[in-house]
Structure 1
Amino acid sequence: MAMPSVNPSQLRPPVLTDKILERPRLLQHIREAASHGGRLTLLSTPLGYGKSTLLAQYAASLRTPWAWLRLSSADNQPLHLLLHLHTTLGLAVPESALGAVAEARLWHAIQQRLEQAAEGFTLILDDLHLLRSGRARAYIEQLLRFGPPGLHVLAASQGVPDLAINHLLREDRLTVLDARELALDSEETRQLASSRGIRLDANTLYQLRAGSEGWISGLLFWFAAHRKQTLQAGQPPQPRALRNVTLQAYAYVVRFLDEELLDLLPAELLTFLERTSVVQAFDPALAEELSERTDSERLIRQLQRRDLFIEQRPGERVEYRYHPVLRDVLYQHLQQRDPQLLRQLHQRAAAWLMEQRRYSEAIHQYGRAKDFNAVLATAERHTFDLLRDGQINALVALLTQVSGQSGSDHFTLAISEASIVLVTNDIRSARSCIGRLQQLLRRQGVPRHPERVRQTIAYLRTLLAFLGGNLGHGLTLASQALQRYPQRNAACSVLRFNRARCLFQLGQLSAARRDVEQALAELDTFRFSGFANIPHLLLGEIELAQGEGAAAMQRFLALEQGSPAAASRNFYELFHEVGMGLVFVQQNRLEQARQSLARAEALALGFPHSAGLVGVLHHQACLYDALGDSPKAQARWDEARRMARQFRQFGLYRRAGAWRARLAVRERDEDFLLDWLEEWHWCQRHYGEDMMPEEWLAYAWVQRHLGQPTLAGQILANLREQAEGEHNLRLQLDLWLLDATLCRDRGDQPAALARLDDALQLASRHGFGQLLHHEGRELAELFRQLLLPQVRRQAGLERPLPPREQLAPLLAGLGSDDAAQRLLEPLTRRELDVLRRMARGQNNQQLADGLFVSLSTVKTHINNLFRKLDVTDRDAALRAARELRLLD
């Protein structure tokens, strides 16, 4: 029996070029999994997400031994697999083979080699999904289950490989990075383009990000098409010519997916894919309706095993969706081959969705089938139901589809458009919608309920005032309309919510809370479970500002659990992701905040950008500022302001500008400050006192920067009165930090320490973790001094410090790695000696004998240890010392 030959190309990683995108966050994630005893780290995504490249980057960064094996179908023969493992581990290739005897010999040598790698060994397996033979898989499973302690297996697979790995999940030794983790975010998309010499403007960047959902291969094809157009024209394509780039890129993607995926599928799977591509999401029942098969669950499982760009969304009803690029390719194939069948499938889907009361999706399907009478009839019966499913894109498409059709000036359709505008925040559409509603009012006999039309016009006008930043006017409009039209309906609730938004932005938290709580109670009665996420976010922000972080966390967790399962990528999911991000920031859990806001950005990109993207960018900028990453914070705020200006959302423009001004003060960005001051004075002339507290706070910091501490102090006093009256603890915290800075500026260190102590006590009582974010970072040295008992005594601070377990998260990152020790009075050398002897189990008498001191002196040292470590017994002292790394 001849020995199988070794394929050298399977034993080396791909070459890394200077165009490769660096992905430090993912590499760090893999390192942490390995360092914490992980046995298997699995990159599980469809093709084209850069798995092999990431494996190669990790291999290049390793300083410990590693081996690489790219699996092929031939490795399903156990002898072939073992030979490749044997060779990649650096073992000599046997000269001959003796069947089963050779397998046993090779396997024994492989095990021995891994056991000898005492300092840790990384085995990297690419294309693990190709390993399907039970006998071949058994060898890998043995390594995963019984391999040496230092072995870390890093693998890439299209989907979860057919291996027994659940025991690793149980033992917390399995880490899976899926398509959501490997998908590129906006900054990585920009970097990837830059590595190929392409400069993306903001609009193009977000269109690429939304269309590709971070699929790396799709982006690379777009860059290739851009390069081709540049070579042909002799210059980069202008913005108006980018459509041609996109069309060329789409042609590349079609050929790629056909060659690498679709042409290799069995006919029954390909037919199933095409027929289910007519809907944005489906469950097994809808799939059976469209495919006319009774085995849809079996076919779905096959798609999942092959990881064919299919995403499962759990909920009350399990649903699936395809990646939009794949869905579009499948849809176009079906449209070209059988347009009549395509129309029938849309009709069939619409009828099924109507039976399930999924009205917005049904309308979308009727529109694709060109059945505009059904569209209008559905809109007539289910005006406000249309917003519940969160398929905002389907609703926007509805208006485009019926434009110019018979009945497109329909009364109920106009009301529906107003409902859509309420969510999309499209100011231009809101104004035109008001005009159409006013025209309908003037027509005799059109509106059956004129009060409802007037309420709708009123809430659109308050929306315009809120988005435009004219908050006082928005309050007046909403209050007048609520008095004039007291009818209890959804429009009235929306008016109340819009008033709450204006109140909140003006810092009037108590009145805002009453309004939004009443609006939510009413919306709950009307079963507005989806749209209600938006006022829930507002109420959660109020709770966070008032120090009720636990209540806000529970609110957003409940929103996540109760998110409507009617359609994947539900627009309203955006608001619980933003809410969780804000909670994590307040808790100083910044990496978790980054993940939540990244998911929020991905959701916002899939809908009209005016609807939520600007706000997400602002919150991301605040997060980057909290992380101390000023360049990214500045870029996010600048982009948020550009988009807000584009959409004429001047309220958000001003809010982001206020935070950007505070960064400009710390960065000494005088040019920005001059422009911002000009805008600030314009707003003050037009709105008087109706300015946001965030704007006044930023103005105070700017005045302090300009050498006007008296004016800054006056603003501080006014804001403090408002903060105390409204129980706005977050604002109070910011004001203590400003006050401490002003005291330090005039050389009054005891007063500065007293203000910081107020901030520390407030943060400790209410769980605020932002002490060292933003301006607080520049007060780090004062915070260190504040924690020293002798300094506190000199400053006359009598209140005890919060417990150590509360201080550590509040001041995480203060100073160097031994920051935790600095949180308390440092131990003397003798006290450290006592602590070490205690750790060896010595009692008090043994301590006295070993140190040549009296028993009473030993007790004094131990009492000092207990006080400084904030504990009451020896065991607790030793646990605290180990946490603070005071013991070897």
Structure 2
Amino acid sequence: MNRPVLKLNKFRPPRLPVATLARPALLQRLREAPQRDVLLSLVRAPLGYGKSTLLAQYAAGLESPWAWYRLDSGDNQPLALILHLHHALGLPAPQPPVNVDCLWAAIVGHLEGLQSRFTLILDDLHLLRSGPACRYLEELLQHSPGNLHLLAACEGEPALPLNHLRRDQRLQTVDALELALGSEEILELGQVRGQVLDSDLAYVMRSGSEGWISGILFALALRAEQGYPDTSRREALRLLAQQTFEHVAGYFREEVLRPLSAPLLHFLERVAVVRAFDADLAASLSGTDNTPLLIRQLQNRDLFIQQRGDERLVYRLHPLLRRTLYQSLRQRDPGRVSQLHRQAADWLMERHHYTEAVYQLGRARDFNRLLAAIERHSFDLLREGEVNAIVDFLADLPGEDAADHFTLAVTEASTVIVTNDVSHASRCLRRLDRLVRRRETPGRRPERVHQTLGFLRSRLAALGGNFSHGLNLVDRTLRQYPQASAATAVLRFNRASCLFALGRLHRAREDATRALAELEALGFVGYTNMLQLLLGQIELALGLIDLAEQRFLALGQPRPSGAPRNFYDLFQHLGQGQVLLLRNRPAQAAHCFSLAEALALDFPHCAGLPWVLHHQACRHAAQGELAQARARWDEARRLARQFKLFALYRQVGAWRARLAVRESDSDYILAWLEEWHWCRRHYGAELQPEEWLAYAWVQRHLGQQGSAEQIALNLRELAQAEDNHQLQLDLHLLDAALHQDKGDRAAALASLEQALQLAARDGYGQLLQFEGGELGELFRLLVTPQARRQYDLDQPLPPRERLATVLQGLSPNVPRDVQRQLEPLTPREQDVLRRMARGQGNQQIADGLYISLSTVKTHINNLFRKLNASDRDAALQAARTLNLLD
């Protein structure tokens, strides 16, 4: 056999562009892997997600030795693989004759002899498929040297057995969802490439590509070449999106579709007419019997196919690839496309997939059947909860006759409670009023029309911030038309929303609970997630954090009905993120909010995006990232004002005012005060508690202590009457700040003591977030035994573990006498800590202490928890600060 020729370009990372987006969170995950005894970090995603770039960024930051090896199809010959790996490790060139086994023995001996950590980076691992070649890497994974960390990029699953690594928690995976760019990262990427993007442009880039990096890079390159304006003009955005897609489609044809076999391409083009499919639907559309095999081939190639295990139609193609395929088929055979749409509609309708069936009829332009289907299945459509599709096909309906169709009008009105589109709601009101005047409403249930009008008007009042008017509208409608229906449940939901906004928690909870029960009894899904979010937020305010967390976790479970996941999942992610933020787990909260943002971007921005941005801003502010918080709040206010969501606009404005106080931003404070006084004149005292609380902080900032104290007194009465523990906690912090201003340390500590006990009892972890962070020195004093004796703080401190959680982030800097209040280390944990400080790995610690590897990992996890650390370096730094190491 001829000796393979070494390809030297396989041993260097790709050149990093000058304008490269930093991915600190992902790089941190990769850096922490060896400390967690991870052997293989697998970056797995389709083409164009930036896998190789991420690996190159990681390599550039490594201080320990490393080697890069880019695999290709030639490495499926074992001799080629071993010869290249031998060279990548810097071993001396072998003398002929070359023996594979001898080379492999030299490689293993070299790796076993390493005295420090070594990282082997394998790019394009998916190209290694032959069994004889894979067996060498399998040996490395089965019998790994102690100081080796493997990092690999792969499209699809590698042809290696990995389940033993999963079992032992030695496999870490970074997938396409984590590699996809969020809106903030798109803005940052534009900035490093010399482009100042507005938010609307970033949203268009993300929603069209689902964060796929190559798609975003195409858009940025086009904008740089053609000089699109920085404004958010609709035509400029549409043109950029269209031209970007043309380039993306060409890229897909060259890089993804051209190498495919004719059967695979035929299959892909036909399933591209539907937004999601299963094997049976794919077989019907493609006319092939081996669809499971074809789907597996697509998955093995990682051809932008996603599997959604808890949905009825379990597969979907990436929207850009689906559009590319659909466009090609329509240009070549438009008649076949219409036929496939009708065929899909028949299949879906027969199996009760009503929303997707109606969507297919709309795409086929078969409006007679479309109207008939909506007339017959309008309740099923709403119950399925696919409001995205409902809005889409309503927008496609032609002519005034369709617009004045009663069932369509009521169906469209029902979407308004989700879309939050004030202009749309106003049009629905006018349409229904016109139908009432013409007496074109069904005589069988006339109350349904008036109930619909009632929930539209009360929804507008709730969104507009006129909460008392909203309450009156609901009360009047329910008195006049009390007949139970889905519309009366929506009316109660609107009333609960107004009550919650005004801080009246008990009545809000009662109404929301009843509305949820009524909708669930009618078989609704999707809509009910909004009620679940409202109830969860009420529970968070009441201090029932565990109950709220269980509620949102339950929403994430597979649904017994098999109903699809859709826009309504946003409410689950949003609620879970709020729980995590209250528990002071900002990194996990950020992930939830990112998932919510991705869903919001696929829907009209008024529906959910401003709310998501608000909670993202809260997360940034909680972590002290004030510039990012300011940008998110300003963007949330811009969108809320644009869409006339004035209740949210005022709520976000209140939080932004509190940030302005922390930053001494006089310009914003003065502008906000003008808006606040306008609301005070129009709505009296019926403002949101957040607005009153922000006004109190502003008054304190302006030196009006008496005014701030009176507001705090009024809010305390409301908080106590409604058991609003979250508001009480905020007021304790405000009181402490006001007492500190007057030099009354005893009263300030007494207020903080109440806050501490309340937070520990209920599980709030945000004492040191927002304004509480400025009271850190008082909190440090509060937990010292001397201060507690001096200021007659007789109540026992919370348990040590709970105290460390509540004051998370404070412990590394507390005085030594406070350290005794934190959870102590066991003697065995101290042994492990000392060996960590000497640089020993997990296996070395296990051998030295004669304990199992899993026991070592348990001790290290306990150390991380007690020292408030996320990795070894942080744990050792905290231990040295606390004088826990000699």
Shared fold (TM-score, shorter chain, > 0.5): yes
Matched, 1:163 2:160: yes
Secondary structure of the corresponding residue to residue 43 of structure 1: strand
Deviations 1:269-298 (A, max 9, x none): 111111111111111122122112222221
Matched residue, 2:546? 550
Matched, 1:463 2:456: no
Matched, 1:279 2:277: no
Matched, 1:370 2:365: yes
Q: Provide the C-alpha distance between the structure 2 equivalents of 1:304 and 1:183, rounded to a whole number of angstroms.
A: 19
Q: Contact 2:43–2:153 at 8 Å: present in 1 too? A: yes
Secondary structure of the corresponding residue to residue 567 of structure 2: coil
Matched, 1:489 2:485: yes
Matched residue, 1:58? 58
Deviation at 1:679, TM superposition (A): 0.3
Please tell me the residue identity of whatever aligns with 1:561.
Answer: Q
* Residue of structure 2 aligned with 1:118, choices 103, 109, 115: 115
Q: Contact 1:441–1:447 at 8 Å: present in 2 too? A: no
Q: Provide the C-alpha distance between the structure 1 equivalents of 2:231 and 2:475, rounded to a whole number of angstroms.
A: 53
Secondary structure of the corresponding residue to residue 613 of structure 1: helix
Please tell me the residue identity of whatever aligns with 1:241.
Answer: A
Matched residue, 1:512? 508
| Stretch moving more, 407-416 or 387-396 | 387-396
Q: Provide the C-alpha distance between the structure 2 equivalents of 1:804 and 1:382, rounded to a whole number of angstroms.
A: 58
Matched residue, 1:351? 346
Deviation at 1:118, TM superposition (A): 1.7
Secondary structure of the corresponding residue to residue 306 of structure 2: strand
Deviations 1:736-780 (A, max 9, x none): 000011011100001100110000000111101110110000000
Per the alignment, do residues 823 and 388 of structure 1 end up closer, same or farther by CA in structure 2, a change over 3 Å counting?
farther
Matched, 1:245 2:240: yes
Deviation at 1:310, TM superposition (A): 1.0
Matched residue, 1:650? 646
Please tell me the residue identity of whatever aligns with 2:225.
Answer: K
Matched residue, 2:812? 816
Per the alignment, do residues 298 and 827 of structure 1 end up closer, same or farther by CA in structure 2, a change over 3 Å counting?
closer
Matched residue, 2:384? 389
Point out where structure 1 has 5 or more consecutive residues left out of the alignment: 841-868, 870-879
Matched residue, 1:718? 714
* Residue of structure 1 aligned with 2:762, choices 766, 772, 775: 766
Secondary structure of the corresponding residue to residue 122 of structure 2: strand
Please tell me the residue identity of whatever aligns with 1:428.
Answer: S
* Residue of structure 2 aligned with 1:228, choices 225, 229, 237: 225
Per the alignment, do residues 757 and 507 of structure 1 end up closer, same or farther by CA in structure 2, a change over 3 Å counting?
same
Per the alignment, do residues 821 and 483 of structure 1 end up closer, same or farther by CA in structure 2, a change over 3 Å counting?
farther
* Residue of structure 1 aligned with 2:182, choices 185, 188, 191: 185
Matched residue, 2:471? 475
Please tell me the residue identity of whatever aligns with 2:334.
Answer: P
Q: Contact 1:569–1:603 at 8 Å: present in 2 too? A: no
Kindly tell me the number of residue pairs found equivalent between the two proteins.
841
Secondary structure of the corresponding residue to residue 41 of structure 1: strand
Q: Contact 1:290–1:348 at 8 Å: present in 2 too? A: yes
Q: Provide the C-alpha distance between the structure 1 equivalents of 2:666 and 2:81, rounded to a whole number of angstroms.
A: 64
| Stretch moving more, 288-297 or 63-72 | 288-297
Matched residue, 2:212? 215
Deviation at 1:235, TM superposition (A): 10
Matched residue, 2:525? 529
Matched, 1:327 2:327: no
Deviations 1:83-141 (A, max 9, x none): 1110010012223234xxx1011101111111122211100000000000101111111
Deviation at 1:318, TM superposition (A): 6.0
Q: Provide the C-alpha distance between the structure 1 equivalents of 2:796 and 2:763, rounded to a whole number of angstroms.
A: 17
Structure 1 length as normaliser, TM-score? Answer: 0.91
Matched residue, 2:29? 29
Q: Provide the C-alpha distance between the structure 1 equivalents of 2:350 and 2:881, rounded to a whole number of angstroms.
A: 59
Deviation at 1:383, TM superposition (A): 2.1
Query: Following superposition of structure 1 onto structure 2, how do residues 189-208 of structure 1 map, counting pairs within 5 Å?
Result: 189-208=186-205
Secondary structure of the corresponding residue to residue 236 of structure 2: helix
Deviation at 1:391, TM superposition (A): 3.0
Per the alignment, do residues 160 and 267 of structure 1 end up closer, same or farther by CA in structure 2, a change over 3 Å counting?
same
Deviation at 1:885, TM superposition (A): 7.3
Query: Following superposition of structure 1 onto structure 2, how do residues 274-313 of structure 1 map, counting pairs within 5 Å?
Result: 274-313=269-308
Deviation at 1:238, TM superposition (A): 7.1
Matched residue, 1:876? none
Query: Following superposition of structure 1 onto structure 2, how do residues 457-856 of structure 1 map, counting pairs within 5 Å?
Result: 457-563=453-559, 570-814=566-810, 816=812, 822-824=818-820
Per the alignment, do residues 442 and 670 of structure 1 end up closer, same or farther by CA in structure 2, a change over 3 Å counting?
same
* Residue of structure 1 aligned with 2:884, choices 873, 878, 886: 886
Q: Provide the C-alpha distance between the structure 2 equivalents of 1:430 and 1:219, rounded to a whole number of angstroms.
A: 34
Per the alignment, do residues 781 and 529 of structure 1 end up closer, same or farther by CA in structure 2, a change over 3 Å counting?
same
Secondary structure of the corresponding residue to residue 16 of structure 2: coil
Q: Provide the C-alpha distance between the structure 2 equivalents of 1:459 and 1:568, rounded to a whole number of angstroms.
A: 26
Q: Provide the C-alpha distance between the structure 1 equivalents of 2:127 and 2:245, rounded to a whole number of angstroms.
A: 28
Per the alignment, do residues 613 and 827 of structure 1 end up closer, same or farther by CA in structure 2, a change over 3 Å counting?
closer
Deviations 1:494-515 (A, max 9, x none): 0000000000000000000000
Matched residue, 2:40? 40
Q: Provide the C-alpha distance between the structure 2 equivalents of 1:234 and 1:826, rounded to a whole number of angstroms.
A: 56
Secondary structure of the corresponding residue to residue 69 of structure 2: strand
Secondary structure of the corresponding residue to residue 67 of structure 2: strand
Q: Provide the C-alpha distance between the structure 1 equivalents of 2:602 and 2:242, rounded to a whole number of angstroms.
A: 19
Matched, 1:90 2:90: yes
Q: Provide the C-alpha distance between the structure 2 equivalents of 1:469 and 1:90, rounded to a whole number of angstroms.
A: 69
* Residue of structure 1 aligned with 2:310, choices 305, 308, 315: 315
Q: Provide the C-alpha distance between the structure 1 equivalents of 2:439 and 2:830, rounded to a whole number of angstroms.
A: 91
Q: Contact 1:208–1:219 at 8 Å: present in 2 too? A: yes
Q: Percent identity?
A: 55
Q: Contact 1:753–1:782 at 8 Å: present in 2 too? A: yes
Per the alignment, do residues 332 and 832 of structure 1 end up closer, same or farther by CA in structure 2, a change over 3 Å counting?
closer
Please tell me the residue identity of whatever aligns with 1:48.
Answer: G
Q: Contact 2:732–2:755 at 8 Å: present in 1 too? A: yes
Deviations 1:47-84 (A, max 9, x none): 00000000000000001010000000000001001111
Deviations 1:181-215 (A, max 9, x none): 00001111111112222221111111111111110
Per the alignment, do residues 450 and 265 of structure 1 end up closer, same or farther by CA in structure 2, a change over 3 Å counting?
same
Q: Provide the C-alpha distance between the structure 1 equivalents of 2:302 and 2:826, rounded to a whole number of angstroms.
A: 57
Query: Following superposition of structure 1 onto structure 2, how do residues 76-155 of structure 1 map, counting pairs within 5 Å?
Result: 76-98=76-98, 102-155=99-152
Q: Provide the C-alpha distance between the structure 2 equivalents of 1:95 and 1:242, rounded to a whole number of angstroms.
A: 62
